[in-house]
Amino acid sequence: MGIADQVRAEIDGLGVESVAPGLAAVVVRLAETLDAIPVGEAATAQAVVADKLAAALNRLRALAPPATKGDAVNELAERAEKRRAAAQQRHAGSG
C-alpha cells in the first residue's frame, strides 16, 4: 500500500472530504507525488513534499468533526454519568 492509499484511507476515516474538499485533494496529490519519486532519488524533493504533506494532513485533522460514538473519552464520560445517576437514585431513596 502506497502513501497515497494510506492518506486516502485516513481522509475517509476523518470524514473531512465534505468539509474541505480542496485541501483533501491537495493532500492526495502531495501523497501521489511522494509515491512517484523513486526511493533513493531526489532526497531533497522527497523531504520537501513530505513536509508539505504532513502540514496539510495536520490541517485536515484539525478540521475533522469530533468523534461521537465509540470514542474512548465519550465511553468513559457515559460510564461516569451512569454511576452519578445511580448514586443520586440511591441517595434519593435513602432520604
Number of helices followed by number of strands (H, E) in the chain: 4, 0
Task: Report the largest interatomic distance among the alpha carbons of the chain, rounded to a whole angstrom.
Answer: 77
Task: Indicate yes or no: pTM above 0.75.
Answer: no
Q: How far apart (Å, rounded) are the C-alpha atoms in residues 38 and 16?
A: 29
3-state secondary structure of 65: coil
Q: Give the pLDDT confidence score for residue 95 in this predicted structure.
A: 58
pLDDT in tens, 83-92: 888 877 877 7
